[in-house]
Amino acid sequence: MDPENLVIGNSSNAKRIYIIDYGLSIIYGSNESSLKICSGDATKEMISKFASISAQQGNEPKAKDDLESIGYLILYFLKGSLPWQSLNYKSNKKEIINMKKLVVNKLEEKEIYSKEFNYS
């Protein structure tokens, strides 16, 4: 999920946020017949700066990856940028993954707002 996939309503719906562009979506259901797993080709496309660490490592995306992506999205809205945002994905993949691991560790330690985590 990227910020470009979110739009805010207008007029009477001004307090609503809508998610658009479900191009790489996965449908999760309560039984196997309604479960659709994303293909390997779609996984390769998930090189977004908001993609989960697991997806960037080439693993099939799971529901937990959506939560990680939303976490990066919220951090982006709060801070205005992400530490790896200016890096080229293809040439800095390992560095980007390490930076994401640092963010996740800081979130787990509840230190995301500490002065030491000022990456701007």
In tens digits, the chain (120 residues) has pLDDT values of 778 888 888 989 888 988 887 666 666 666 555 545 555 444 444 457 888 899 888 887 787 888 888 888 888 888 888 888 888 877 888 898 999 988 888 777 765 555 545 554
Identify the H or E element spanning 6: strand 6-8
DSSP-derived letter for residue 60 is P
Furthest-apart CA atoms within the chain: distance in Å: 49
Place of tokens 């990227």: 2
Q: How far apart are alpha carbons 7 and 4 in whole angstroms?
A: 8
The answer to whether the predicted template modeling score (pTM) of the entire model surpasses 0.95 is no
The residue among 63, 64, 75 whose CA lies nearest residue 100 is 75
Quick one: angle between helices 63-79 and 89-108, nearest 10? 90
